[in-house]
Amino acid sequence: MEHERKRLMVDAFIAGLPKAELHVHHVGSASPRVVAGLAARHEGTTGVPADPELLAEYFTFRDFAHFIEVYLSVVDLIRDAEDVRALTFGVAEDMARQNIRYAELTVTPYSSVRRGIPDVAFMEAIEDARKSAEAELGVVLRWCFDIPGEAGLESAEETARLALEVGADGLVSFGLGGPEIGVPRPQFKPYFDRARAAGLHSVPHAGETTGPQTVWDAVRELGAERIGHGTQAVRDPRLVDFLGEHRIPLEVCPTSNIATRAVERMEEHPIRQMVEAGLLVTVNSDDPPMFGTDLNTEYGVAARLLGLDEAGVAALAKNAVEASFMGAADRARLTAEIDAHLAGWRG
């Protein structure tokens, strides 16, 4: 009974905690309400259910390959700038309800532009939503443009063009997503070199469904400043030492790792090993509605796996602020909000 009371108290603390999120996908954050609305708008041309209650079954994945298949079917619902704007602002609304103050949203513009949305219209739509989210909701959004690895070097070239020639005011980083198996990281080095030379930060996915070598490749070849997932990094003590020494953060997404079968059981998740090794761990939701989660839930999962009280959860939230690409003044402001929330809770 006492254990359950403490768990509920921690969950209540998390609900009011000001937070930053660093690993969350644009299309993958579309709530059942938003997805159902888009499916209804394009009814007759999609296999995605227009009933929010049927989406839970639709979002049940057999494996990572099936997840990609379902994910791309939702991408196919984003067909014009109005869809892009509605999706983006809808995501920000869901973030505001969780007290997320700042998020670096991973956007895959290649997938929408190749489906016929003009590149400038796409950028204008996400920027309009970003400005409205900050003004109306108090949610600061920044963009990571990522290469969909399964689409090959053509997508890398186009993503680099969209990032560096078309661009968006909120763009801060350059990433690499999609499957890791059969998609070697080193082939993307020229594109990351160009992005980094233009001042963008490097944040590729690595070590999610493949071994530690993928993380080494991300660091050595792509100049990774943060690692998306990094779940398998703990299998290599030298890599753990390197990540710790260079203070390279890991963007950990516990429920996602179970949903995609990257980790078999939550009790086996390596987040505790990461923390005990002194790594800079951040907690994230990845594709929250698709995995039946949100950032508050992920903090609750992490708190239970790590045995954290409210002070420990607040420290975890400050990790995300430290690992973010926000400016120093904004970082100090959000850190102060987290400290104030903890002090008020204790009081």
> How many domains are contained in the chain?
1
What CATH number corresponds to the domain at position 265? Answer: 3.20.20.140
Return d(Cα 127, Cα 51) in angstroms, integer. Answer: 29
Return d(Cα 117, Cα 55) in angstroms, integer. Answer: 25
What pTM did the predictor assign? 0.93
DSSP 286: B
Q: Which residues does the annotation mark as catalytic?
A: 208
Does 56 have pLDDT greater than 90? Answer: no
Does 52 have pLDDT greater than 90? Answer: no
Q: What is the pLDDT of residue 208?
A: 94
Does 44 have pLDDT greater than 80? Answer: no
Q: What is the pLDDT of residue 55?
A: 78
Q: What is the pLDDT of residue 93?
A: 95
Query: How far is CA 35 from each of CA 32, 67, 79, 123, 192, rounded to the nearest angstrom?
Result: 5, 16, 13, 21, 32
The band of 39, judged by pLDDT with boundaries at 50, 70 and 90, is confident
The per-residue pLDDT for range 157-197, each reduced to its tens digit, is 999 999 999 999 999 999 999 989 999 999 999 999 999 99
The per-residue pLDDT for range 73-124, each reduced to its tens digit, is 888 888 999 999 999 999 999 999 999 999 999 999 999 999 899 999 999 9
Does 289 have pLDDT greater than 90? Answer: no
Residue with tokens 């920027």: 127
Does 225 have pLDDT greater than 80? Answer: yes
Q: Which structural domain, as residue segments, surrounds residue 229? A: 2-346
The per-residue pLDDT for range 193-219, each reduced to its tens digit, is 999 999 999 999 999 999 999 999 999
